[in-house]
Each structure stands twice: as C-alpha cells, then as structure tokens.
Structure 1
C-alpha cells in the first residue's frame, strides 16, 4: 500500500508542476535563451518532466534530486521545486569557506578565506574539536593555521573544476559567472546585523558529500599538505523533530497550512494570515514580511534559507549608521566625507511605509553630511517589494522621463486558458470583490499607465507569439504598477544624486527587485556597476533573474480556488507533500531591446573588482576601493 501511495504522490507532484507551469512566463523562452545566455539556459522542462514520469527511482530522495536539478537547470531562481522532506532537513558545513583571491602579481587563486577559523569557531564551537582532530599528523589541532591557505586541489582536481561543477547544478542565475561566485564566501546586510554567507562549498543544503580532501599550501609555508575534513550536519531549526522514518515523514513531508491555496472568501484564516506561516517564506531570499496583495513581490527562492552566520566583528562596518538606517537598509558616510553608502541586503521590510521613508531619510542625511556621490551595495540582495525598487530609483534621480510615471519595466503575464477563466470569473461573476487576487484587473495599468476598471478583461485579446518554435500567448503590455499614492510621502521634486556618480556594487547575486533597480539605474541613468570577485576570464553580469513579479503554486492555487475553478481539468491538484513550486508570473520587457524580455539581455559589469587579501569580505574596504577606482 505504501508503494502505491508513493507512486501516486510522484504522479501528483508532476501534475502540480506541469499545470502550474501554465502560469510561468518563461517556459518556452528557457528552451533556448538568446545570447549571451544561450549556453547557460536551454532546458526543455516539459520534456524532462515527461522523462521523470517514465523513469523509476531507487528512492524518493533520488526522485527529489532529479526534480530539483531539472528545475534548477532553468537557472531561474523564481522557478524552482523545493521538497521540505529533503531540501533543508539538515545543512552541512565545513570550517573552511573559500575566496578567490588575486595575488600581487595579478594571478588569481582559490584560498581558504582568511577569516575562516574566526567564523567557524564562533558559529560551530561544538564542532571545532571534531575538525581539529581530523587534521593529520603535526597539523592536528592547528585548524586556525589553515586560514588564508592557497587551495591547490579539491578532491584531487583543480579548484576551479569544483567551482564549475557546482555552477552546473546550483541554478538561480542565468550567468555562469554568477553561479561560480555562489561557491565562495561573501557578506550580506540582514535585518539585525551583518551576515556571513559561507558559500556552496562550505555550506550544502543537501547531504551530498561526507568529506572533502584538500591539497593546500599554508601561509608562510612552501611544502604542500593534504587534509581531509568531514562535513558536519546541523539540523535546520525549521525541521520538526522526529525519531524514526514514520515520524520524519509525518512531521516534515506531508502538506501543511500554506502548502496549498485556499478560497479567500471561505477561509477564516486568509485575511489574518502572514507570509511567515507559509512554507514559501523560509526559502525566499528576503526577511519574513507580512503578506499583502497591495505590495507585489519579486524575490528569488533558494533551497538554502537565508544565512544566520554572523560576519566577524572585525569585518563589520565600524562607521556609524546615519539617520534613516533601519533593518536591511543601512546608510554610512565614508571617511573621504564625499561618498555616501547604502548597504541594502533586501528590498523587503516588515513595514513597507517605514522602509520607504527610511530610504528617503537616509539619502537626505547623507546629502546633509556633504555626500556628492553614492555607492549602493546590494550583495546577495534577493529582491522584495517591487515598488520599493521603483521608489529608490525615483528618489535618487528625481522626476524625469525614466521615472515618471514609472521607474520600472513594462511587463506581461502568460495568457493561457486557465488564466483567462480566472479573470473572466473576477470580471463577470464578481469573484473577488475585496481585491485579494493577483488577476483582479483593478491592480494593473495598460502600457499608457491607465489603470483598468473592475469590468476590464485585461487578458483579452491574448497577444499570440511563437517562441523557440512553440506557440504561446501573453497579456497585453502592462505599465505603471506603483502610482504616486502607493508611496507614504511625496518623492522629492529634484534628484538627490547625479546618477552618473552612483555605483551599484554586488557579487553579482542581485536578483528580482534588486535586478529591476540595478538594470534601470545602469541602462537608463548611466550609473556604474561593480561585481566583487569573479573569475578573471569570465564576463561578470551585475545582476540576474529579473522577472517582473514572482509568485508560487500556493498563491496561484488560491486564485483558482477563490474563483471556483479547482475542479476544472486545467487546474493543478493539491499537493500531498510539503512542497513549494515557484514561478515567474510577470516578465519585464527589456530596455536596450524593448520588444523582448530583459531577462536574457546582457548586463556586463563596468568593473570586475579583484578580491585581494586586504579587502576580502570587508565591506568598508571594498567601498573605499570602489570610490577610488570609479568615483575619484
């Protein structure tokens, strides 16, 4: 009986993913992306799902790996499959996060991060003895001496072979260089402080490796040495405790509240629910925020939850935050007394209005202190409120043709038969009188900026097109989505900074609403962009995973159930497992080519800043270097 149930569950997962993809804007685009991403995005997702349906697997875990990696081959951090049975049950760690350091002679090598032992001893004090005792011979107990060592081989291979192998399976970003960068350590501003991102080498969300063998050359040593270090697993705080297979499955694998959608008008908990209660919230690369339809989100998903490892105190900015700083947005004045800095770890906050007012106050404070140029550090910024990205662009550059009536991109939604039925129910049957649903026409404006009325069927007529030889249909072009009355205060009537004296800095891992901000600032306003690190011979893209608005299966399921279409043959069934299916619901049109999506248009960084021993994972040192190179 258990075997029959398992087979049924697998079939049901495939049905959910298949039918949910009808809402995903990019399924045909991702068959073969245009240059410069042709070699990186070429996944026949529907074909692979059919292959999975025909295949047999030794275990549920093997099936999960195939599901997960199949969707990751889209290299689209909005469209992923996450099964809470496996994705973050345990997280594996090593005490040796890595960094790509550039030497004085200009050569680039992989090193154990100089701060590695400081991070490991603070974060994993109960495991340090295990790693100390794993070291061979005279190195036993000398784990601290590995910090800064050059890595000559990883499991017998050149280190960049391991970097490239990870880039093939990590997903999330179109650009190969950005996926390479995910292997290495980095930093991020969080709600309460500065976090240290261990990187995919030193932190794995699936227990794929038991140990690593490194050939290293320690600082001030000439003889290479070989060390083997075990990964140590830490149970995820979100994992419900279990004692055996049965309790593991019962507590972590079956659908829970938030896995599936609800009828918004029949569920007593819908109006009071928050995103923190939904399984999705654990994997969105943003702080947990209260759910609200009024503030659409564009945020990346990742199988690893947001990091809570702390950036060592010696690397954290010692500069005093200026007025306006709150949560993920911190404002600083550099010692040159002319360069202001915005460290922005996300475009989300628990309070939308306070977040936007804080951004404005922070920039005004920097100007009052004498700042004439600005660095915006968006390292590992996974997105958030779309209108927060529009707001930051608008208040920096002031009112002009690129910010009024909107600072963002025009968008389009997929216009399939089920989507058309949802809108028809809203328009003709008044299925959403309180405007809970994404598909409600009053939430959207046409390409001229005119908002639709409650009686406008914005999906009619569909715009028919052919993509990679496949027929598809999209909505009409959608324009303004953040009207002035959306903002808590009126934006300034003049630019706060010359956009050509604004530099956007990241490790390339800037996605979703972060991409919307960075792209429009760079391509429309001429702001400069910098990618920290990155392999020297690989073109670095300053952001990726653009989209236009992201959502997920449970949200679409709420649209379907609220409009009483769940029994329609086009509707996906409920998930029986504790799973998450992310999708790109709206796709942004490009700037250089406004007839095609921005998603696959090039975004080369103006500067690929080499990481040296004196600036690695040191935000202030990086900002000072950027200011000297691009703003002096």
Structure 2
C-alpha cells in the first residue's frame, strides 16, 4: 500500500511540475530567435504591477520633471505645434491610480504618455520590455510620386524582398509559405506594389495613426515620415531603416491585412501577413523562464543609477563624464549602452538596439556607385558628383566616441570639405538623413568651417542657451560653490564650465541658476538660468585645430538634405545654416499637403537620469526630499536640460519656432532610398546655373 501511495504521489508531483512549467509562458520562447508576437507578449505581460514598482517609477519621473526645461512649454505648445499639449504632473496622478493588468501595460502607458510631448529628448525606457523583441514584417513601405501625373501613393518598397531576404534569412520562408493562393512562395512579386488599403482603410489613416503616437518630433510631417523605409549611415556603414510599419518596438500587433496592386497587374490582391518577433541579445541569452527573465533583465544593475564622483570606494565609477570636456557637450542619449557586451548602436528615436536586430544594410545597388573620398571617416562620407562641380557630405551622425574620436572627426570634416573644393566643387549637398545628433561641439565646428569667420560664427557658432533652474538644481550649485564638492570641474552645474551672454566665464562664487529670469509659461511661473554663451571656441583648445578664416562654400550654393529626421546637434547645425545664412533645406519624401520641416527636435542638451543622480549624489543631496530615488528596475529616463534661444526670435526657445523646409523633394521609383540618385537630381534642379528656388507653400 505504501508503494502504491508513493507511486501516486510521484505521478501527481510530476503532473504538477509539468503544469507549472507549461503555465510559465516564458519557457515557450526560451532560446528562440523568432517567436510570434503573441508568444512574446504572453511572457512580457506575465508580471503583475507591484505597488512598490509603480511608486518607484512615478517618484523618479515626478522628481526628474523639475530638470526638464520644456515641461511648461509642453502644456500647450505655440503655433505651429498646437496639437502638443500634455500636463505631465496631472498624468502622473492618473498613472498612479489606474488599474493595470500587468507591469508591461503600466510601462507602455507611461512611455506613451511621455511621447505625447513629442520630444525625443524626453524619454522613459524599461529594459525589461523596451526593444526586447523587435517585431517585423518583410514589407517596408515608401511614399512615392508618379512622375507622369504627380500623384502620390503608398507603395511596398521596390527593394523590400532584397532587404528582407538578406536580413531575415532564417525567417523568410515562414512568410513565403504563409501567403495565400498565387502569392504563396512569391513574396518577391509584392515589391513595388501600390498599397490600396491597410486593414481595410486608406493607407494614410495608418500613417497618421502611427504619427499621433510616435512622439520624438514636434513636426507632425516628420513623424509621418518615420512610417516609411529610409536610408542612413552610421559610424561604420550604410544602413536601411525599415520604418515604423515594418519594424515595431513592441510585440503588440499580430498581423496586418493589405490590399495591393502588384506591378504590371490590373487586379488587386488581398492578404494577411503575420508580424514576427525577433529576440535581442538579452532576451535570447537570459529568458529561460519567468524567474530568469526577471533576475537577469529587469532588475537595476550597476549601470542604472548614478554614483558619487567623490566617493573613491563606490563600486561603480562609470561616470558619463569620462571625458568631461567632450562628454558633457553630447546631445545624443545612450541609455543602457552597457546592458550587453555585444556591440550596440542607437536607432533614430534614441532607443538602443543590439546590432543583429538593427544593423540592416542598405542594398548594394542602392549605394553610390562612386567610392567615397579618402578623407571620409565614420559617419562623415565625402563624394564628388559627375562633372566635379557638386560635392556631397553625407553626415549620418554627429556622435563620436570620446575626445580623440571627436577631434579626429573634426579634422576629417575640414579635410574632406577642403578636398572637395580643391577638386573643383563650388556647390555642396550636406545629406543629414536620419541624423539623430551627437556632439554639440561638432555642430558648432561644421557651421564655422563652412561659413568662415563672421559675427554669425564667432564667438557663437551655436545658440545661446538656458538651463532650467529647479529648486534642487539651485541647491546643487550652492553645494558646489560653497563646499568645493567638484574639485575636478566635472559637474554640469559647476559655473566653471560655462560662459555668460557676453561669452565670458561665469563667476565661480555665484549661483548662476539664481540670476536668471522668472518666466510665465502657459500660466505657470518658471525659473531658468541666466543666458549662457558659446561653449566650443576657441576650437584650438577644444578640438585641437584652427578653423579657416574664409568660408568654404557660398551659402546660396549649399543644400541641406534630410527626411526631416535631423535632430539635436543636427538640428542646431541646420537651424544656424538656414536661418543665419539663408542656406536652403530639402526634405525628401512626405505628403504634398503637409508642410515638411527640416528638423523637429533641437533642445540644446539632453541629460539622463543616471547623470542627474550622479550630480545629486556628488553634491551630498541624495537624502534631500526633492531628490529622486534610485531606480529599482533596469530603467532609464532623459530630459531636455537646456533650451537654445531662437535665431529669428532670440527671446524664445528655437525648439518652439517653425523650421519649414524650402524644398519638398518628391521621391519616385528611381530615387527612393537611392542617395546618389537624389543627390544628382537635386544638383541638376537646384544647384545649376539657373538655380530654382521652390519654397513650400503653407
């Protein structure tokens, strides 16, 4: 009898253990490269929202808001950005009381609430969920103009199958075999198809729905352009961005129905194609079950929170000011760059992604046929078009990895531009498509060397700025100047790091956050620092090189080209070139009834939570009631720390002033995602002897 009951107990125990394993949705996706969105979603939504986790995130965000310079501007943005209106303080109250089915649902609501500010510098990430699974379909879309009648429509990119079959070699057969009827196994035939309906509605409804929740950019037209595929160039090579239709950040959409008309066909095809979710490095390595997922990915680690610079015993000294004279002048935000030992790169919207997921290559036949000049380096590539009259600077990112790299890029920029001029070019196209920003100093430098010495480039080649002077920020400055808590001048709040409106160093014993204006913004009083002047010159000291005295190119012979995604330092450069010198700006693609903007995010400097936490801890203020607590989750947050004063209206932030592109360049089957074809068309139409100047109409 004892043996009988032991046998029964063993069977029951095995059954229970098996049931527990089956009930754990993360075991289903363990170790897999590709899963269905539903499978990934089941694992990601398995964690309930614990009160402590919610309280921690909301407290960090609420106590970071006083450092965010745009908070009150975003209550109701001025024209032409009237649709931007979000009361972040009120939204935090709502987020604190709403019932959520999971921690993931709470995080998604938090992130999308912040995205309503349409400010790519104002972000919130939780690496338990963000970009853990990249979700794709093999049909990137483009917005093209019919050269015969000027009509614009949505198409599946002509290069769609070529890109997908190369990037998704281990998944392409799944999509091939999943197509219905005559389309089965014939995915390639869909490339170049006109898209008539998306989920039964006009494609532009899907474009606008995506733009409404995208965030990132004040300019609605730019958020629309994110929907479509585009090219770029990172620090190493040409890249292909699938667009927000074909590449989504979360596994929350399972499939899409498309109604299309294939090339050279009169009939229409209606089919449903599933999205598939691809695991990033962290997910594939650490998600074995719910427990391993939580412990290995979701909990704060040594890279999440800041550290006291003055505490030599601190376990983590990974201060973002590793090269203080360079790093603090970087725009581009790199949250969580240390999360994986694998190489990582930054996508346009600032979300870090592992290379196997994001490093999609631009097909060879779309790349320039001519080789770049020898002076090319990293994201800065130089080309000479036929006839040696028009040079091209393709500049994919202002980012540089540290002081040495920044100085090398500065030198190569000058050498490459001088080489173009020496070889006969008197016209220049600066292609900054998908340039998300980087070093402020390089922005100032490129402006200065192109335009030469004048009162518009010296002593200020950028924008005068102001920092928000919240109560805790003022106390940090007070601690520094009265208690000598920053002997190495590493703090962003140390007056030794800044110059005043007359471009002279700030007094070292003066709290520069208490001497600025009190402003009324959307019915709320706000405090800002005194006006800050230039921060990059003399370039001999900061970049190790002197700029030429004479301008390299006549501004009327320069075009600045992008798809509207030219942010941060790229925006600073473009604004100064356009508004101070009359350089024309071009946006390629986009709807013809929506005015295109050449930049939709400027700010003047972004700062992340880890940096602020380091400032607070180094000033011995971590226990202050205004200080944000440490993140408990593996999270990151950034805010706009400084705003730049406008060029045309110097009393208001440039961030909230229009940036209409002069030229809206329509893309066609022959030019879409083909940079050299676009450059040649622009050179022919706008940089010839009879230069056309087509200004967009409102």
Q: TM-score range by the shorter chain?
A: over 0.9
Aligned to 1:385: 439
Cα distance in 2 for partners of 1:323, 1:502 equals 22
Shift of 1:3: 9.4
Residue aligned with 2:462, SS:
coil
Shift of 1:462: 3.8
Aligned to 1:395: 449
Shift of 1:294: 3.2
Shift of 1:208: 1.5
Alignment partner of 2:272 out of 228, 249, 263: 228
Aligned to 1:419: 473
Residue aligned with 2:174, SS:
helix
Shift of 1:299: 2.3
Alignment partner of 1:196 out of 237, 240, 252: 240
Greater alpha carbon shift after TM alignment, 23-32 vs 260-269 = 260-269
Residue aligned with 1:545, SS:
coil
Shift of 1:336: 2.7
Write 1 or 2 for the structure with the bigger share of helix.
2
Shift of 1:271: 9.3
- Does the aligned pair in 2 maintain the 1:135–1:227 contact within 8 Å? yes
Q: What is the CA RMSD across the aligned residues, in angstroms?
A: 1.7
- Does the aligned pair in 2 maintain the 1:550–1:586 contact within 8 Å? yes
Aligned to 1:74: 117
Alignment partner of 1:459 out of 513, 516, 537: 513
Report the TM-score when normalising by structure 2: 0.86
Cα distance in 2 for partners of 1:304, 1:108 equals 33
Cα distance in 2 for partners of 1:236, 1:86 equals 11
Alignment partner of 1:208 out of 252, 258, 268: 252
Residue aligned with 1:200, SS:
helix
Aligned to 1:280: none
Alignment partner of 2:419 out of 365, 373, 384: 365
Aligned to 1:299: 332
Q: 1:267 to 1:225 in 2, by over 3 A?
A: farther
Cα distance in 1 for partners of 2:129, 2:216 equals 18
Q: Deviations over 1:100-152 (max 9, x none)?
A: 01012111000000000000000001111100011111111000000000001
Q: Deviations over 1:340-372 (max 9, x none)?
A: 101111001221110100100110111111110
Q: 1:3 to 1:487 in 2, by over 3 A?
A: closer
Cα distance in 1 for partners of 2:528, 2:566 equals 27
Q: 1:3 to 1:376 in 2, by over 3 A?
A: closer
Q: Deviations over 1:15-66 (max 9, x none)?
A: 0000011100000000011101112x11111111111112111111110110
Alignment partner of 2:395 out of 313, 337, 344: 344
Unaligned runs of 5+ in 2: 1-45, 334-348, 689-698
Shift of 1:10: 0.5
Cα distance in 2 for partners of 1:441, 1:511 equals 27
Cα distance in 1 for partners of 2:387, 2:663 equals 21
Alignment partner of 1:43 out of 78, 83, 86: 86
Residue aligned with 1:226, SS:
strand
Aligned to 2:297: 252
Cα distance in 2 for partners of 1:467, 1:457 equals 23
Aligned to 1:487: 543
Aligned to 1:315: 366
Q: 1:142 to 1:292 in 2, by over 3 A?
A: farther
Q: Deviations over 1:75-102 (max 9, x none)?
A: 0000011111111110001100000010
Greater alpha carbon shift after TM alignment, 485-494 vs 18-27 = 485-494
Q: 1:257 to 1:32 in 2, by over 3 A?
A: same
Shift of 1:4: 10
